């Protein structure tokens, strides 16, 4: 028997965006534990805006487990928050009731800023801006990425791979101090679990660098010529990959247009600051799609059209602070309104 360090991770009750929380318990197992071996665990919901002090218990229900290579016998345990009975989902539990389909594949492109002393890495400490964006995207060299950012993103990549997270790549982004990682998963819950754990790992890693992760979609403001951060969401379903067709695709886009407001409602706070029609975005109150058009609501890859309208599509509207559980579920809700014949 070995003692395992189980880091239970959950989302708190803060609005409009929940914070990640975590606490550790020690349990003995013969080998790395399986999900069904993990116990429920209570916590003080009055300290996370999920309960009142006079009845403060909430319950953590493990839903996914990953190895944690930063600890001897460590495990990262993604949890749902339940009511004291351990069975009823808490009102802040966005995962429990979402649509899920193992045939639905999602690729999330998570953008973010690295901040130090209140400004993005590489920005002048006394105020002002570095030279204009242009060379930073996928940039190489000290003047473009500095001396610590790449160390952080490379270490984060390794931590995710060690954990079995399907991390598919990294790159420096358009703005100074801005980066991106990509996560792929089959099924909305599985894909979103991995995004949240990857976010947790990045935030925890940056503690030792005295660097903060800023997830806000437009931290430098709306009125400056600097890109915001998104979480472009690539998606496909079994039907879209195997059958597709132009007629189905056009019906699907009509449905996305019809429900554009419902999508925007769960695509992250303050998106009006980012979706302006500038900086590779479409305006928040409009919907369009286009082949290889990064200024569209939905980008249609050339490969999709060339393959008889089969494959994946990219919804470019979700922002970097959005909840991937809600994004994936909303996409599946809209897809479900379109007949497949």
As a whole number, mean pLDDT of residues 123-130 equals 90
For helices 188-206 and 324-336, the axis angle rounded to 10 degrees is 160
291's CB contacts (< 8 A; 6+ apart) are: 300, 301, 302, 305
- Predicted local confidence at residue 63, as pLDDT: 98
Confidence check: pLDDT of 278 > 90: no
Confidence check: pLDDT of 194 > 90: yes
Question: Going from the N-terminus, what domains does the chain have, and what CATH number goes with each?
Answer: 2-82 (3.10.20.70), 105-336 (3.30.590.10)
pLDDT band at residue 228 using 50, 70 and 90 as cut-offs? very high
E strand or H helix at 81: strand 74-82
- Predicted local confidence at residue 341, as pLDDT: 78
> Which residues make beta-bridge pairs with 10?
21
Q: Mean pLDDT for the chain?
A: 97
**pLDDT tens figures, 53-98:** 899 999 999 999 999 999 999 999 999 999 999 999 999 999 999 9
**pLDDT tens figures, 161-180:** 999 999 999 999 999 999 99
Q: Is 7 in contact with 23 (CB distance < 8 Å)?
A: yes
- Predicted local confidence at residue 127, as pLDDT: 86
Note the pTM of the prediction, 2 decimals: 0.97
- Predicted local confidence at residue 280, as pLDDT: 86
- Rg, C-alpha atoms of the chain: 21
- Predicted local confidence at residue 238, as pLDDT: 97
Confidence check: pLDDT of 146 > 90: yes
> Which residues make beta-bridge pairs with 230?
319
As a whole number, mean pLDDT of residues 127-143 equals 95
Taking alpha carbons only, the member of 125, 235, 130 closest to residue 178 is 130
E strand or H helix at 7: strand 2-11
- Predicted local confidence at residue 319, as pLDDT: 98
As a whole number, mean pLDDT of residues 234-256 equals 98
pLDDT band at residue 47 using 50, 70 and 90 as cut-offs? very high
Confidence check: pLDDT of 204 > 90: yes
- Predicted local confidence at residue 279, as pLDDT: 84
């Amino acid at each position: 028997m070995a003692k395992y360090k189980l880091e239970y991770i959950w989302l708190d009750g803060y609005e409009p965006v929940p914070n990640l929380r975590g606490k550790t318990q020690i349990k003995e197992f013969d080998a790395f534990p399986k999900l069904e071996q993990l116990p429920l665990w209570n916590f003080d919901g009055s300290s996370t805006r999920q309960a009142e002090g006079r009845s403060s218990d909430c319950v953590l229900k493990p839903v996914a487990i990953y190895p944690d290579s930063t600890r001897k016998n460590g495990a990262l345990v993604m949890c749902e928050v339940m009511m004291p009975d351990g069975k009823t989902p808490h009102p802040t539990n966005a995962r429990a009731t979402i649509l899920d389909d193992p045939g639905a594949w999602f690729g999330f492109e998570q953008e973010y800023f690295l901040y130090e002393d209140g400004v993005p890495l590489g920005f002048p400490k006394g105020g002002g801006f570095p030279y204009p964006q242009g060379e930073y995207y996928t940039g190489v060299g000290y003047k473009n990425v500095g001396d610590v950012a790449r160390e952080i993103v490379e270490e984060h990549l390794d931590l995710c791979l060690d954990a079995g997270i399907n991390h598919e790549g990294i790159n420096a982004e358009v703005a100074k101090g801005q980066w991106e990682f990509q996560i792929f998963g089959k099924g909305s819950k599985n894909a979103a679990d991995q995004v949240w754990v990857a976010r947790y790992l990045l935030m925890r890693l940056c503690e030792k660098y005295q660097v903060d992760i800023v997830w806000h979609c437009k931290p430098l403001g709306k009125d400056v010529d600097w890109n915001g951060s998104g979480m472009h969401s690539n998606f496909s379903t079994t039907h879209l990959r195997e059958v597709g067709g132009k007629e189905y695709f056009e019906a699907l886009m009509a449905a996305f247009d019809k429900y554009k407001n419902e999508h925007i409602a769960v695509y992250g706070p303050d998106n009006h600051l980012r979706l302006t029609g500038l900086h590779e975005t479409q305006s928040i109150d409009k919907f369009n799609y286009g082949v290889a058009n990064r200024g569209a609501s939905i980008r249609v890859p050339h490969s999709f059209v060339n393959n008889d309208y089969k494959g994946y599509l990219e919804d470019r509207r979700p922002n970097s602070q959005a909840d991937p559980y809600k994004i994936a579920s909303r996409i599946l809700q809209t897809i479900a309104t379109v007949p497949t014949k």
